[in-house]
Amino acid sequence: MANYKVTAKELSNLMRLTFDNTTGEDVVAEVLPVYAKKLGGVEGILKALAVDKHKGINQNDFVDRKNLFGENKVEQDPQEPLWKLMWEALQDPTLIFLTCAALISLAIGVLVEQKPLGWLEGVAILFAVAVVVTVGAVNDYQKEKQFRDLNAKKDDVTVTVLRDGESSRMSTHDLVVGDIVLLSTGDVVPADGAVLGRNDLAINEKMLTGETVMKKKSSEYVMSSGSVDSSPILFQGTFVQEGEGRLVVLAVGANTYQGSMEEKMKEAEPGRSILQKKLDAMTDLITTVSMYVSIALVVILLLRMAYAFYSQKCCFEAWDHKLHWSEMLGFMITGITIFVVAVPEGLPLAVTIALAFSVKKMLKDQNLVRHLSACETMGGATTICSDKTGTLTTSRMTVVKIWIAGQAHNSAAEVLKAVPKVKTQLAEASVINTLFKTFLKIEKGITAYCGNDTECALLLLADELGDGYNAIRKRRPDDEAGRRCISFSSDRKRMSTVVPAPDGSSIVYTKGAAEIVADLCVEMVNADGTSVPIDAAMRRTVEGAISDFADAGLRTLCLARRAVSAKDGANLSPVELETGLTLVCLVGIEDPLRKEVPQAIKDCQRAGIVVRMVTGDNLQTARAIARKCGIVTPDDPPGAVMDGKTFRDLVQDENGELKQDAIDRIWPQLRVLARSTPLDKHLLVSGIQASMITGVAQTVAVTGDGTNDAPALKKADVGFSMGIQGTDVAKNASDVIIMDDNFVSIVCAVKWGRCVYDNICKFLQFQLTVNITACALACVGAAILTESPLNAIQMLWVNLIMDSFASLALATEDPNRVPGLKEQLLDRHPYPRTAPLLSKVMVRNMIFHALWQLGILLFLIFAIGDVCESGESINLCAGVPYPGGDFFTSIRSGRPVDFDLGLLEGVNTCVPKFDPANTHSFFLINSPAAMPIDASGLSYTGYVPLRSKEYCQEVHGCGVKSQHYTIVFNVFVFLQVFNEVNARKIHNELNMFQGIMYNNMFLIVLFGTIIVQILLVQIPGLNTAFGCTDLDVYQWLVCIGLGFTSIPINFLIHFLPYEWISLGSWAGGLDEAAIDEVLETTEEADKTDVEMTAQPQPTMVHVRNPDGTEAS
């Protein structure tokens, strides 16, 4: 194995040291002692790594270097298998409780009751748990796989590498320390390293530092006036904006700066979301109340039993161990059954379905959701801190203003229409004086920039004028005889190119800072293509145009030309050539707003969300862009726009700690933070989240694409990273990846977040109404009738309706399909984080719908049904019914016989217990009328009790199918079916049918439930299993009609007041202390983030672009 004189750790530390120290003072004090003195600069490092800078490494050393310095990839933790995700999903407290309830129900149904279908309730709950666990785990597995596939595809690119003196193309994953990589315009730097030899590289480090300024590179540090002009170190993930050069790889994989950040940013397991905590609290409350109700019911039944003994009622004349212990066990079973029925096992399923449905739909809206909780959280967002470049803007510099021949125009099309005769001069002035390493290329039908963004904008202008830049370059090639290029100078603030003219003379093309180049012009191009002198009035007009462009936040250039002799063109100095110019045009260049952004900003403002722009641009440009998209208005106070340094000075104390009182004075009116660093973004997010000056905690969403944005992304309630420009570190730190880098996609996330929240609330409103009715009915049945009017399998079907089917129907509303739903979702302010899940409107609806349903069902149970002996069938009376029965129908009662007969005065149906003193309790058999026993001649004389041993153990009640109880069951189901339509609206809307035809799943579930209900009542055998009997047409019409009453009743309930309802924790609300406890799960990770952001940030310095403009 080769012996290298430098270690991977030393090189990795050098990368970190270089990144953390960028000012001239810090470089001299911290970097140069290590880089230049200890390691000997690039030459010393090459020697220590045994690298020939002309030939690269020896291919035979590849394995040794890979083993010693590592691979060029950050090893991801293996994706968790599906079974493990399912096990983790099963740790949900609600699911654990449901599993226990199911096992208890199974044990009672199979071992105690020993009924043929006693196992169904327990199996049904276990099935619901299995569905929740499976859907949740599969959804998590798929979204993680999507994320990994996305990263793997993006990372696996090829680069040109020099090995053994030969160039070859290979995957970036095959790079090792010591490799020499050939870089050119448009390349992404594949590893950390140092520049070799002479080069003209200009690097965009925005994805690491957040700065958009190009950084010049050289093989050694070049410094002047105490500042760094160029440096030798390149970082993985940065972009070659222009130029060519060679890179020696010094750190790969986890040893790169970006790799080390990625390792540190590996996420902790997310805790339970606020919505989940609210649902947990509600489930706990329902469970507690159900437990007390069940206990109270058992106590009532026991008291009734005690009273029966006291009153010496039938079968309670004396204690019978076999009989009465069994009856007491039955009371316990009844209590547990009601407890199980009341458990909202559909809640986890509804949440899972709603989130899984929205995640798949959000992907179509360009949102790749990494953390499911982000869906619901985004619906409550109150603030969005957005980047500018690429999110609000197109991330492509474009000529948006052209001043030519005394007039300003907004596009090339306007120029062609107004002054067509100058288009060739304008196109040539735009193209000829640009670097050939700047060009445009088409990728997937989209024009991509390569090289200097400003020059690319001029090339695109030439294409729009109809004189394609490629055609002009073919006429004026780079190696054209007589061509002379005068590079940009920060002193001159301009650049020029001399090219030969057809008549043998030369033409000088100049472009640069508008105010400088315009002062050098003595003539200007007129509308007819000729040149006219610039008089004093026209000079003021030109200066006014430049001022207007600057006020609009545009990067303003002046394009000029001049005819000179061939001799002068070759020999005059730049200063001599660049005088007496003819002004061709002024161009205003900017990264334009996306067309859809202003409306998206309005949507956010209408939705009660404040959009704050956090950008590295200067104040003037930031303010101009913010005005265009509507983030700031002329009426906003001065504090609406602030620069990063001022912000930091105001909100940080001398120890770097956040001053909450200071930030509380700033953030409510702050709309634009300009010249900001990732540290500023983190401070802003932290301060807003911690603030309580509005009385309600804020929910903050943040966008970011750079590695240094990762701490703010993790700190935010919802972090959005960019799918196109975002780094791997930013994506790993985010909750949602915006696939198209477009702000509109963030608004879509808000829309879906609110839709998910509403869908879950719709299900809650429906399920809790069914729960109240079912539990009340079961309690009344058990307390009065001693048995529930609905048997176990009927309750199972009701549970399916209110759990699984309702989850599918109510949790899958699509705002992209239903007309007006998107606008409705964005027309209201966000829910406060502490707001209960149940609103006052929902509680009112639940109470009155449950009362209406109970009224109908209790009337059906107690007010109809003749009390009589069974006739030809169980539904017909034998003879005349007892007085005091049903006055509405001729159906025989399905209530327990003991209950019905107990209500009849003067009718004693109890067979008395054997008592020799009571002659009504036995037959007396005396000799000679002895009763023969068998053929042997033996006979029996004595008492024969009239009450058999099995008399008190006979099953009393509705276990036998009857039309009476079938009607009760049928009406119960149809009340729920029609109330499911009502449950679609939770904001007191009057029209519950609005948009119903656009929800296919709802219609399928609704009509599917009705069809199945008809089948299980009418089909012989199936109805027997459900304890039902078939009904005639009249009875069906009555059942459907009574069920349909839920619709008009909902209309009446709409007008009932609801302000009197007092909501509390019982309605699913959480106080701030509980929410803080939920959020504590991320605090440890966030502390690490803060430490990383606390490192020295790159200092912004003024630099000059090749076109003569300033940037920072």
Distance CA 918, CA 216 (A): 116
HEC string of 764-800?
HHHHHHHHHHHHHHHHHHHHHHCCCCCCHHHHHHHHH
Do residues 736 and 368 make contact, with C-beta atoms less than 8 angstroms apart? yes
Distance CA 447, CA 468 (A): 14
How far is residue 945 CA from its own chain's centroid? 75
499: its two tokens: 């090219």
Q: Are strands 383-386 and 700-704 parallel, antiparallel or unpaired?
A: parallel
Q: Are strands 484-489 and 494-500 parallel, antiparallel or unpaired?
A: antiparallel
**Strand, helix or coil for residue 637:** coil
Task: For residue 74, give Cα distances in angstroms to 266, 319, 322, 469, 766.
Answer: 11, 77, 71, 42, 49
Q: Exactly one of 140, 192, 280, 387 is catalytic; which is it?
A: 387
Do residues 253 and 12 make contact, with C-beta atoms less than 8 angstroms apart? no
Distance CA 11, CA 511 (A): 43
**Strand, helix or coil for residue 994:** coil
649 in catalytic set: no
Do residues 461 and 399 make contact, with C-beta atoms less than 8 angstroms apart? yes
Distance CA 782, CA 795 (A): 14
**Strand, helix or coil for residue 700:** strand
Q: Are strands 214-216 and 192-196 parallel, antiparallel or unpaired?
A: unpaired
State the number of CA atoms in the 13 A half-sphere of 825 facing the CB: 26
Q: Which helix (H) or strand (E) holds 170?
A: strand 166-171
* DSSP code, position 920: G
In 578-705, where does DSSP find H-type helix? Answer: 597-606, 619-629, 644-651, 660-666, 678-690
Amino acid (one-letter) located at 636: D
Number of H helices, E strands in the chain: 42, 36
Residues in the chain: 1112
Distance CA 723, CA 737 (A): 6
Q: Which helix (H) or strand (E) holds 98?
A: helix 93-107
DSSP letter string, 519-549: HTEEEEE-TTS-EEE--HHHHHHHHHHHHHH
Distance CA 932, CA 980 (A): 67
Distance CA 875, CA 879 (A): 13
What are the catalytic residues?
387
